[in-house]
């Protein structure tokens, strides 16, 4: 499998192509001159036996010169056509090479930007202090559980948490159930199961309604993923500036 040419190699090949076309044009011009001289000499020899007078000799020489001029013009038109064809081919090749270089540079830039974004997201996904170790973790759980209860709106739910968070989640769920009743006027019963591995998550919960028809993922990892998708255009603009080539945003 052949490798792609780098920028210097592309420019080198273009220079070789131009030099080749110029050299071929010079050689063709020499061929035209030699051929014209040969035809002129032939016509001159043919004219001499029948030119018994100065006037006839002049007419024969004129005919030879006319043939020579015609041959030169024909060959000149042929070389012009060939040169024009090769010139256009060289222009197309140059445009393709320039487009390739531009696209390669653009792809390198996009790849580097994507690396920077992934580094930022990775730093958020794996912070120095995980969410479950922060002072506001219980308040965070109360908030997302209240939000989840109001979303599900069923009398029974099962809450899945990190194995180490079962007691903390139960405490937060009690407060969230009270808040839910104040807002909706309904009671809600819940069970907490520590089925999420401590190594898989830095906090949060998953909920399944009593009927099993509604599943809600409110783990920190899922909330970050959704936030990444939603905020990505804004993050790109803040980091790299507005994309002048983009007309539509979602």
Q: Which tokens in the block code for residue 185?
A: 């006027």
Please report the pLDDT score of residue 30 as a whole number: 76
**In whole angstroms, what is the distance from residue 135 CA to residue 74 CA?**
92
Residue 137 lies in a domain: yes
Q: What integer is the mean pLDDT of 105-111?
A: 80
Please report the pLDDT score of residue 50 as a whole number: 46
Which pLDDT band, with edges at 50, 70 and 90, does 111 fall under? confident
Q: What integer is the mean pLDDT of 68-75?
A: 70
Residue 167 lies in a domain: yes
Residue 80 lies in a domain: no
- Asked if pLDDT for residue 64 goes beyond 70, the answer is no
Q: Which tokens in the block code for residue 191?
A: 């069970």
- Asked if pLDDT for residue 24 goes beyond 60, the answer is yes
Task: Report pLDDT digits (tens) over 31-56.
Answer: 777 776 666 666 555 555 544 445 54
Residue 207 lies in a domain: yes
Q: Which tokens in the block code for residue 47?
A: 């004219």
Three-class SS state of 183: helix
Residue 61 lies in a domain: no
Structural element, H or E, at residue 205: strand 204-209
Please report the pLDDT score of residue 233 as a whole number: 77
Length of the chain: 250
CATH number for the domain that contains residue 213? 3.30.2320.30
Residue 97 lies in a domain: no
Higher pLDDT, 123 or 132: 132
Residue 178 lies in a domain: yes
- Asked if pLDDT for residue 199 goes beyond 90, the answer is no
Residues paired with residue 197 on neighbouring β-strands, in sequence order:
none
**In whole angstroms, what is the distance from residue 47 CA to residue 58 CA?**
9
Tell me the pTM: 0.53
Please report the pLDDT score of residue 155 as a whole number: 95
Higher pLDDT, 25 or 98: 98
Q: How many domains does one find in the chain?
A: 1
Nearby residues of 184 by Cβ (< 8 Å), 6 or more positions away:
149, 150, 153
Q: Tell me how far the alpha carbon of residue 135 is from its chain's centroid.
A: 43
**In whole angstroms, what is the distance from residue 191 CA to residue 233 CA?**
39
Q: Which tokens in the block code for residue 196?
A: 């999420």
Q: Which domain covers residue 205, as residue numbers?
A: 133-238
Residue 194 lies in a domain: yes
Higher pLDDT, 6 or 21: 21
Give the least confident one: 34-43, 107-116, 135-144, 204-213: 34-43
Give the least confident one: 1-10, 76-85, 132-141, 168-177: 1-10
Q: How far is CA 53 from CA 40, 45, 100, in A?
A: 20, 15, 70
């Amino acid at each position: 499998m052949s490798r792609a040419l780098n920028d210097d190699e592309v420019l080198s090949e273009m220079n070789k192509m131009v030099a080749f076309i110029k050299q071929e044009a010079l050689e063709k011009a020499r061929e035209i001159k030699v051929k014209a001289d040969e035809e002129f000499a032939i016509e001159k020899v043919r004219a001499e036996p029948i030119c018994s007078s100065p006037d006839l000799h002049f007419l024969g020489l004129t005919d030879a010169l006319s043939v020579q001029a015609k041959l030169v013009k024909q060959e000149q038109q042929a070389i012009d056509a060939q040169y024009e064809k090769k010139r256009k081919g060289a222009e197309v090749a140059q445009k393709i090479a320039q487009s390739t270089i531009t696209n390669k540079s653009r792809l390198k830039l996009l790849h580097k930007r994507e690396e920077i974004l992934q580094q930022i997201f990775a730093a958020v996904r794996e912070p120095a202090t995980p969410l479950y170790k922060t002072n506001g973790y219980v308040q965070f759980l109360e908030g997302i559980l209240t939000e989840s209860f109001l979303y599900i709106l069923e009398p029974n739910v099962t809450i899945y948490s990190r194995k180490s968070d079962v007691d903390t989640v139960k405490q937060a769920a009690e407060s969230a159930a009270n808040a839910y009743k104040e807002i909706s006027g309904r009671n809600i019963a819940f069970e907490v199961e520590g089925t999420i591995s401590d190594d898989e998550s830095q906090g949060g919960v998953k909920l399944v309604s009593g009927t099993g028809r509604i599943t809600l993922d409110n783990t920190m990892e899922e909330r970050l993923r959704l936030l990444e998708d939603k905020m990505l255009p804004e993050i790109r603009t803040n980091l790299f500036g507005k994309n002048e080539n983009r007309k539509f945003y979602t």
